[in-house]
């Protein structure tokens, strides 16, 4: 499932969307990929070398991240370039911020 690109008027990220993003981010290799792409768009050939991963293993993890809506890709010649979707990261950040605000609320008194 690919999350849609949101506009400022889009509804906030639902719990299911947050679950998909967090599940995709839960793997250490995928976090390494996210950190590598945090420095900007990268060619899959560079990611393979920099992360010391076999192309097939890297492709699997890139697919999971792309399906979660965290990555965008483009093809140039025979190479595919990946970048982070800042919209998805912002949606997750906003969802976490809402949780953070809510956790400061005191519980109602018990009857």
pLDDT per residue as tens digits for the range 54-100:
999 999 999 999 999 999 999 999 999 999 999 999 999 999 998 88
Q: In this predicted structure, what is the pLDDT of residue 107? A: 84
**Is 7 contained in some domain?**
no
**Is 61 contained in some domain?**
yes
The count of structural domains within the chain is 1
**Is 110 contained in some domain?**
no
Tell me the pTM: 0.79
Cβ atoms within 10 Å of 5's Cβ, excluding its own: 11
Per-chain mean pLDDT for the chain: 88
**Is 30 contained in some domain?**
yes
Q: What percent of the chain has pLDDT over 70?
A: 90
Categorize the per-residue pLDDT at 11 as very low, low, confident or very high, splitting at 50, 70 and 90: low
**Is 3 contained in some domain?**
no
Q: C-alpha distances in angstroms, 29 versus 26, 67, 86, 98?
A: 9, 16, 20, 28
């Amino acid at each position: 499932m690919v999350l849609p690109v949101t506009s400022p008027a889009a509804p906030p990220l639902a719990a299911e969307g947050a679950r998909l993003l967090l599940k995709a981010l839960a793997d250490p290799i995928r976090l390494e990929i996210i950190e590598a792409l945090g420095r900007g768009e990268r060619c899959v050939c560079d990611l393979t070398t920099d992360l010391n991963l076999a192309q097939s293993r890297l492709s699997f993890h890139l697919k999971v991240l792309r399906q979660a809506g965290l990555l965008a890709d483009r093809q140039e010649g025979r190479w595919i370039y990946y970048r982070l979707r800042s919209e998805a990261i912002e949606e997750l950040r906003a969802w976490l911020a809402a949780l953070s605000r809510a956790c400061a609320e005191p519980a109602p008194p018990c009857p």
